[in-house]
Amino acid sequence: MNKHANKVLQFLTAIQDCYKEEDDRESYDFGKLELSNDELTDDFIAMLQAQKILYENITGDKVDLIGFTHIQNRLVFQHIIENEKKSESR
């Protein structure tokens, strides 16, 4: 497995572990990733790919990376609208 694929797997496992009981978590098997300005773009892409894989595993919906970012943008827009409505009702 190459370095990028390993990062995707580490981020995916960490996200999935958030939904597991403590005894069932798998993140402890991975070493620490080094934060490096030279690899920051690759890290963010790996995080995005991990989120996409999780989305596909949960929903069964197969999307490409651009389609997934569209879904994320719609969710952000929905979140902003809902927060504005809450602020107006106060």
DSSP letters for 40-89 = HHHHHHHHHHHHHHHHHHHH-----HHHHHHHHHHHHHHHHHHHHHHHHT
Q: Which parts of the chain register pLDDT below 70?
A: 28-29
Q: What is the pLDDT of residue 30?
A: 75
Question: What is the per-residue pLDDT across 7-28, written as a single tens digit (0 to 9) for each?
Answer: 999 999 999 999 999 889 887 6
Q: Model pTM?
A: 0.85
